Amino acid sequence: MTDTSIAEACRAVLLAAKPRDKVRAARETARAWRRGRLAHAFDVPMPDRPARPERPELLPASQMPKRGKGGSERGRVAMLHALAHIEFGAIDLAFDIVGRFGAAFPRDFVDDWIGVGADEAMHFALLDRRLKVLGASYGSMPAHDGLWEAAEATAKDALARLAVVPMVLEARGLDVTPATVERFRAAGDERSAAILLRIYTDEIRHVGAGTKWFEEGCESQGFAIVPHWQRLVRTHFRGVLKPPFNDSARGQAGLSRDFYSALAVKGYV
């Protein structure tokens, strides 16, 4: 017998401010869902914004200090901090998509995105631990709030959320991570490189979940998949789609060039 809903549990993740509390809430929610201890019910709203710790200081992206390419130890620490912040925000994005939009999809949608959320919590914990080994900590450098800005822009449309967050923002990670891994290896930082490679492998699956549910949502609502994705990206994504694209990893995730090449050709780069 369950007395707590998946929506309540997701809301609790979003309202946990301290990193250790958010990671713990994410893991406990994923475990409870897998064990059948949470009702498949969407009876509470998601907050407009997730809770955040006092640090890091959040700056507009245009005001963020340059962090270099990762050759020096200082540059590598800055890169790891930036990635930790992305993963911290990704925890909220995964649980928000469940609590906000789960009622519109089959139960398998919750299975997939709760799994993504558990992955993101693990990714953050790995990066946070690595930062501490290197004499730093999450929150010791400024960060920006671009991920949640994308969430706010897509808060009323599940297909827009899927189009922008996993299929644009997370797909961008597939494009840039292999070169970052090689820079860390060239600097002799094999441990950090291994963490980034683990994250990269998981993110292929996350982009795949976004693509799968976007396609299923379009089919159920009668939208032509690729044109609707392009329309949503033009409408809701404030950035640009930058080549080069990692076509191989994107293809593994089901995100074919049909989606993004036309935007690049027409000047959205």
Take residue 125 and report the two structure tokens written for it: 């914990």
Give the mean model confidence (pLDDT) for residues 183-201. 97
Give the mean model confidence (pLDDT) for residues 48-74. 77
Model confidence at 145, in pLDDT bands (50, 70, 90)? Answer: confident
CA angle, 235 as apex, 234 and 241 as ends, to 5°?
30
Model confidence at 65, in pLDDT bands (50, 70, 90)? Answer: low
CA 200 to chain centre: 12
Q: Rounded mean pLDDT of the chain?
A: 93
Take residue 218 and report the two structure tokens written for it: 């379009």
Residues near 156 by beta carbon (within 8 Å), at least 6 away in sequence: none
Does position 89 have pLDDT exceeding 90, yes or no? yes
Encode pLDDT of 90-99 as tens digits: 999 999 999 9
What one-character-per-residue DSSP string does the chain give?
---SBHHHHHHHHHT--SHHHHHHHHHHHHHHHHTT-SBS---SPPPSS----S-SPB--GGGPPP--SS-SHHHHHHHHHHHHHHHHHHHHHHHHHHHHHGGGS-HHHHHHHHHHHHHHHHHHHHHHHHHHHTT--TTSS-B--HHHHHHHHTTT-HHHHHHHIIIIIIHHHHHHHHHHHHHHHHTT-HHHHHHHHHHHHHHHHHHHHHHHHHHHHHHHHT--HHHHHHHHHHHH--S---SPP-HHHHHHTT--HHHHHHHHHTT--
Give the span between the Cα atoms of 101 and 131, in whole angstroms: 34
CA 84 to chain centre: 11
Lowest mean pLDDT among 3-17, 66-80, 222-236, 249-263: 66-80
pTM: 0.93
One-letter amino acid of 203: E
Report the percent of the chain where pLDDT is more than 70. 93
Say how many C-beta atoms besides its own lie within 10 A of residue 68's C-beta: 13
Region label for 222, one of left (φ > 0), alpha (ψ between -120 and 50) or beta (otherwise): left
Take residue 175 and report the two structure tokens written for it: 């494009």
Encode pLDDT of 199-223 as tens digits: 999 999 999 999 999 999 999 999 9
Residues near 14 by beta carbon (within 8 Å), at least 6 away in sequence: 46, 47, 50, 51, 92, 95, 96, 99
Encode pLDDT of 156-175 as tens digits: 999 999 999 999 999 999 99
Give the span between the Cα atoms of 17 and 187, in whole angstroms: 34
Give the span between the Cα atoms of 117 and 110, in whole angstroms: 10
Take residue 36 and report the two structure tokens written for it: 């059948």
Give the span between the Cα atoms of 219 and 229, in whole angstroms: 12
Give the span between the Cα atoms of 191 and 211, in whole angstroms: 31
Does position 268 have pLDDT exceeding 50, yes or no? no
